[in-house]
Amino acid sequence: MGALPALPVAVPLLVAAALVGLAPVIRRRPADAVAVATAATVAGLCAALLLQAAGGPVVYWFGGWTPRQGIALGVAFAIDPVGAGLATLAGVLATAALVFSWRYFEAVGTLYHSLMLVFLAGIVGFCLSGDLFNMFVFYELLSVSAYALAGYRTEDPGSLQGALNFAITNSVGAFLVLAGIALLYGRSGALNLAQLGQALASGPADRLVVVAFLLLLVGFFVKAAVVPFHFWLADAYAMAPTPVGMLFAGVVSELGLYALARVYWTVFSGPLAADAGGLRAVLLGAGVVTALVGGVMCLLQHHLTRLLAYATISHVGLTLTGLALLGPAGLGGAVLYAVADGLIKGSLFASVGIVQYHLGSVDELALRGRGRHLPWTATLVVLGALGLAGVPPFGTFLGKALMEEAAGAAGHAWLTALFVVVAALTAAALLRAAGRVFLGLGGPPARAVDAPPGPAHPTMLAPAALLLAGALAIGLVPGLAGRVELAAARFTDRPAYAAAVLQGASGPGGADAESHPPGYPAGPAGWATLAAVLGLALGIWPLLRRRPSGLRGRAAARLWAPVGAALRSLHNGHIGDSVTWLVVGMAAFGTLLALVVR
């Protein structure tokens, strides 16, 4: 099979090291070109792996240390379509972000390119790894480069503050993950996921296994920014340079959920099988709260990147509800939704970056009416808002339709209502911002500041447009839903995964998903349209009236004001507060798990 699986990690790491070495002599443009070419190569390699993994799992043992008599000795990459798909998404987003950086940065050192490539290598390794400790190492690799990238604009106090909070909170999360890994190793003597699953499958979960699960769950929830572990996210994502934000919002948050799904279905689905019902309730609750808190906070923002950061939290919550159904159908929908949503978020971050570059601000009130000469950017933002709302034919719609179907089958049809509300909230925030910035609605135009005049440069518009086109393509490729469900069915099949890794059993094997009928489900399309219309109404309404008028309006404003103020003051970006919430959240999840696991 060759060394193909190792290349998407090795290539960016080597190029990053070479760029650091060449830093004194290499000029800006060659460094840009090398970085873009490398990221594109990684995306291509990951896509090749995705195609290969679609035929059956690809297992690669480093140094040829294959298992002996079913015991894993070495370190493996175990590649399935879900992991390879996320890695491909990361490669595509990194390529787009680096192309975007071409023009976005006035001056940038090669250190930036190296950090981006190391970051990408970490993400890819994390997605492909079949070994729990290696997942931790790649998790740290991607996190450390992410902290450095978040604080890259050292001249901006907010950026430094966001990076510090990001780094400290996420490091605590990483130590929780490591403690969980240590406990699992102490119980089973294994670090390979398949081996761990086999060792724990023999009996029901005892207290040690539940505690290990809790530690991993909380650690990965910190990375995914599930409420109440989300307080670090807005500052880090909003203050990072926009191209970095494209990668953060596009793929990093989803990685936490991916990791949880991976360890659940390879390790814990055996011992926790009897408690799946209770676990489902806990995860669904976390997803619903995250989706709603993120959505409401999103609507409260005037700062465009912060608005997108809260939209990211909200959509991670939605993805979590799909995953929380703990079945292949829900997981397939969640994966499809996460990938399409990641592409749209990347595109929206790029569009906001264009606004920032040409108008010198990301505050929608300071930008009112000043975006009239950026018609293409305006179009992309509005299309992106519709994509976030899950309007057909965007891939987000297909993902949501699958999740709704799975939720209905599991007796949770009310999730459709949540999807409508969250889609309306986030779309409303974006459409309101677009109405203000590009149409000048809701007040006199703001005073212009000194910034490069338009029109936007193609190296900035093209990534935004192509990422959006990618999200459309995901919704339009015929038969994709069926393939994703098949991949999800394999992802959730623990014995087949273990056989593929430890015995080298290849071939599709395991459960076959029922083939999904092609074409669009009509029912969900109605809900998606409703969400978009609600979003439009909710977004435009505050622009068309000057102040809350009449008794009812004032009463509503009086009721709402303290809630909004409380939410805002909670999200103050203080490091101690976000770590306190981490501890509180861990205690809460610990209590809930103790209640539901018998």
Q: List interacting residues with another protein (CB under 8 A).
A: 133, 137, 140, 144, 147-148, 151, 154-155, 157-158, 160-161, 163-164, 167-168, 171-172, 174-175, 178-179, 181-183, 185-186, 191, 235, 302-303, 306, 572-576, 579-580, 583
CA–CA dist 568, 368 (Å, integer) = 23
Residue closer to another protein by CB (options 83, 151) is: 151
Query: For 548-553, which contacts have Cβ atoms below 8 Å and span 24 or more sequence positions?
Result: none
Angle made by CA atoms 493, 498, 502, in degrees to the nearest 5: 160
Smallest separation, CB 131 to another protein (Å)? 12
CA–CA dist 290, 287 (Å, integer) = 5
DSSP lists the bridge partners of residue 234 as none
Phi and psi at residue 77, to the nearest 5° = -100, 125
Residue closer to another protein by CB (options 156, 533) is: 156
Smallest separation, CB 374 to another protein (Å)? 24
Buried b or exposed e, range 208-229, using 16+ CB within 10 angstroms: ebbbbbbbbbbbbbbbbbbbbb
CA–CA dist 593, 217 (Å, integer) = 11
Smallest separation, CB 291 to another protein (Å)? 23
Residue closer to another protein by CB (options 179, 596) is: 179
Residue closer to another protein by CB (options 304, 402) is: 304
Smallest separation, CB 570 to another protein (Å)? 12
DSSP lists the bridge partners of residue 307 as none
Smallest separation, CB 559 to another protein (Å)? 23
Choose among 70, 71, 12: nearest CA to 44. Answer: 12
Say whether 129 sits in a helix, a strand or coil. strand
Phi and psi at residue 154, to the nearest 5° = -65, -15
Smallest separation, CB 187 to another protein (Å)? 9
Residue closer to another protein by CB (options 249, 582) is: 582
Give the distance from CA 360 to its chain's centroid. Answer: 27
Residue closer to another protein by CB (options 303, 315) is: 303
Residue closer to another protein by CB (options 239, 324) is: 239
Choose among 422, 534, 150: nearest CA to 305. Answer: 150
What is the three-state SS of 185-196?
HHHHCCCEHHHH
Say whether 164 sits in a helix, a strand or coil. helix
Residue closer to another protein by CB (options 42, 167) is: 167
Angle made by CA atoms 19, 251, 230, in degrees to the nearest 5: 115
Task: Please count the other Cβ atoms lying within 10 Å of the Cβ belonging to residue 562.
Answer: 9
Smallest separation, CB 356 to another protein (Å)? 16
Residue closer to another protein by CB (options 191, 488) is: 191
Smallest separation, CB 45 to another protein (Å)? 26
Residue closer to another protein by CB (options 234, 336) is: 234
Residue closer to another protein by CB (options 212, 481) is: 212
Smallest separation, CB 192 to another protein (Å)? 12
Residue closer to another protein by CB (options 93, 191) is: 191
Choose among 232, 248, 76: nearest CA to 576. Answer: 232
Smallest separation, CB 438 to another protein (Å)? 22
Residue 53, CA distances (Å) to 45, 338, 397, 478, 506 in order: 12, 19, 25, 19, 10
Say whether 95 sits in a helix, a strand or coil. helix
Smallest separation, CB 194 to another protein (Å)? 17
CA–CA dist 64, 89 (Å, integer) = 28
CA–CA dist 123, 135 (Å, integer) = 10
CA–CA dist 385, 397 (Å, integer) = 13
Smallest separation, CB 460 to another protein (Å)? 25
CA–CA dist 488, 181 (Å, integer) = 25
Q: At what angle do helices 157-188 and 575-596 cross, to 10 degrees?
A: 30
Smallest separation, CB 191 to another protein (Å)? 7
Residue closer to another protein by CB (options 134, 492) is: 134
DSSP lists the bridge partners of residue 97 as none
Phi and psi at residue 516, to the nearest 5° = -85, 135
Residue closer to another protein by CB (options 109, 482) is: 109
Smallest separation, CB 72 to another protein (Å)? 12
